[in-house]
């Protein structure tokens, strides 16, 4: 039986292996060496690699991102961590104006091999300022690469590829994935940046999903199967570069597309996938594609409103049924079920 690890452990192992192999890799971020170790993803690394390479930092997101960029210019490979995507809004000059552009605007003379790990908060009242995803923003910017692994296997393989990559990579981890388990081989392996993965094959509808929404998509596919609908679930994994081919080929096969993501709908990544599918597979489309995304409002804190805010498997399968003309069968989610925790073991507050 293959070894199973948690997603957080897979991240941890990826960093550990890269640090062991390459002395120029170092890890920096608020709370990196603290007793909780960024949701477990950095635990033990300081003991192994020393406090010069595994370090805390001041609450200075923009400045410290600039510092990381500078060390990258000097030949280091920084891995920077922010506990929430929202904090990175302070660092966008350095991420977008600088890191993303230094290679191009200096005519290829410089490179910025920087990984920025950003954690997407969710649940237990993270609310308006601690749960934004913003992957669509990063995916808009030439010069950045953007990945969002869903499985522990991909988390490790993509993080190793990201750290070894010579360009700045935005590595987005959904908080609700840290606790999921899955097979993770020992040692170094790589998942290439720029490749999507078919998680489940099917011929009736393509569900292209991102990050945590892949799990919802798989659940949706299960219930759809009961209704005789074979959904193909694609984990986009890499938003930039994008593996357009895998999505388009699937859409050519199924003729139907649902995109499921955990960001806002308007001008979101879902629109890009829809546009690509329409541009490349127009003649195959049997019906208009459908986007499952966050409604266009900030994240509400109250668990009751949050439960309405986040779309789940049911919304996806409902969309598929509507496309295929299948009658609704699922029982509605009981109103009392807690929908603001990743699993029952989670008891807050973070």
Partner 1 sequence: MMDAEILTRLYRGMLRIRIVEERIAELYPQQEMRCPVHLCIGQEAVAVGVCDALDRGDYVFSNHRSHGHYLAKGGDLRSMIAEIYGKATGCAQGKGGSMHLVDLDAGFLGATPIVGSTIPIGVGAAWGSALKGESRVAVVFFGDGALEEGVFHESLNFALLKKVPVIFVCENNLYSVYSPLAVRQPGERELFCIAGGHGVESHQADGNDVLAVRSLAERAVEKARGGGGPTFLEFKTYRWREHCGPNYDDDLGYRPETEFLEWKKRCPIAALRERLLEAGICSDRGIGEMESAVKSEMEAAVEFARRSPWPADTLLMGDVYAS
Ligand X SMILES: Cc1ncc(C[n+]2csc(CCOP(=O)(O)OP(=O)(O)O)c2C)c(N)n1
Please count the other Cβ atoms lying within 10 Å of the Cβ belonging to residue 193: 20
Tell me the pairing of strands 145-147 and 238-240: antiparallel
Burial of 285 (0-12, 13-18, 19+ CB in 10 A): middle
130 is catalytic: yes
Could you give the string, one character per residue 85-124, with x where binding to ligand X holds by CB under 6 A and - elsewhere? --x--x----------------------------------
Tell me the pairing of strands 257-264 and 115-120: unpaired
Query: Which member of 3, 109, 343, 345 binds partner 1 (CB under 8 A)?
Result: 109
Residue 272 lies near a copy of itself (rule: CB under 8 A)? yes
Q: Structure tokens of 209?
A: 């999903």
DSSP E strand stretches across the chain: 4-6, 25-29, 54-55, 77-82, 115-120, 145-147, 169-174, 181-183, 197-200, 205-209, 231-235, 238-240, 257-264, 290-294
Residue 289 lies near partner 1 (rule: CB under 8 A)? no
Q: What is the CA radius of gyration of the chain?
A: 20
Catalytic residue among 13, 49, 61, 272: 61
Residue 60 lies near a copy of itself (rule: CB under 8 A)? no
* Binding partner of 70, given a copy of itself, ligand X, partner 1, none, CB within 5-8 angstroms per partner class: partner 1
Q: Structure tokens of 76?
A: 């280091």
Interatomic CA distance for residues 159 and 349, integer angstroms: 27
Residue 73 lies near ligand X (rule: CB under 6 A)? no
Interaction residues for partner 1, span 122-181 (CB under 8 A): 124-130, 142-143, 145, 165-167
Query: Which member of 283, 331, 332, 349 binds partner 1 (CB under 8 A)?
Result: 349
| Rounded alpha-carbon distances, angstroms, from residue 103 to 28, 152, 186, 190, 254 | 23, 31, 34, 24, 40
Q: Given the complex with ligand X, which of 30 and 217 has the nearer CB atom? A: 30
Name the strand (E) or helix (H) holding 247: helix 244-254
Residue 24 lies near partner 1 (rule: CB under 8 A)? yes
Interaction residues for ligand X, span 15-34 (CB under 6 A): 30
Query: Which member of 20, 47, 105, 110 binds a copy of itself (CB under 8 A)?
Result: 105
Q: Running DSSP on this structure, what letter comes out for residue 117? A: E
Residue 346 lies near ligand X (rule: CB under 6 A)? no
Catalytic residue among 13, 49, 82, 130: 130
Interaction residues for partner 1, span 30-59 (CB under 8 A): 30-31, 34-36, 52, 55-59
Q: Given the complex with a copy of itself, which of 221 and 294 has the nearer CB atom? A: 294
The catalytic residues are: 61, 130
Q: Which residues bind ligand X (CB under 6 A)?
A: 30, 59, 61, 83, 87, 90
């Amino acid at each position: 039986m293959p070894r199973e690890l948690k997603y957080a452990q897979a991240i941890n192992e990826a960093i550990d292996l890269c640090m062991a192999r390459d002395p120029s890799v170092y890890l920096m971020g608020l709370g990196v060496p603290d007793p909780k170790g960024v949701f477990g993803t950095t635990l033990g690394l300081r003991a192994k690699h020393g406090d010069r390479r595994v370090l805390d930092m001041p609450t200075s997101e923009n400045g410290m991102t600039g510092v990381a960029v500078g060390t990258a210019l000097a030949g280091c490979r920084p891995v920077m961590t922010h506990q929430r995507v929202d904090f990175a809004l302070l660092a966008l000059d350095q991420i977008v104006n600088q890191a993303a552009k230094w290679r191009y605007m200096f005519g290829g003379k410089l490179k910025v091999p920087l990984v920025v790990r950003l954690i997407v908060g969710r649940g237990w009242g993270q609310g308006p300022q601690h749960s934004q995803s913003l992957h669509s923003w990063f995916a808009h910017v030439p010069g950045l690469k953007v990945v969002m692994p869903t499985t522990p296997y991909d988390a490790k393989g993509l993080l190793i590829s990201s750290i070894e990559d010579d360009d700045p990579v935005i590595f987005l981890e959904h908080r609700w994935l840290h606790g999921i388990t899955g097979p993770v081989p020992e040692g170094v392996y790589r998942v290439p940046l720029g490749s999507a993965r078919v998680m489940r094959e099917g011929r009736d509808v393509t569900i292209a999903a991102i990050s945590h929404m892949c799990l919802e998509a798989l659940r949706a596919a299960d219930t759809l199967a009961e209704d005789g609908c074979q959904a193909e679930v694609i984990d986009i994994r890499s938003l930039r570069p994008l593996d357009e081919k895998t999505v388009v080929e699937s859409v050519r096969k199924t003729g139907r597309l649902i995109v499921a993501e955990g960001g806002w709908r308007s001008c979101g990544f879902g629109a890009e996938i829809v546009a690509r599918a329409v541009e490349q597979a127009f003649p195959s489309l049997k019906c208009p594609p459908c986007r499952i995304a966050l409604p266009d409002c900030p994240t509400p804190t109250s668990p009751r409103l949050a439960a309405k805010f986040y779309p789940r498997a049911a919304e996806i399968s409902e969309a598929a049924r509507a496309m295929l003309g299948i009658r609704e069968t699922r029982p509605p989610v009981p109103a009392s079920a807690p929908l603001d925790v990743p699993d029952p073991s989670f008891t807050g507050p973070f």
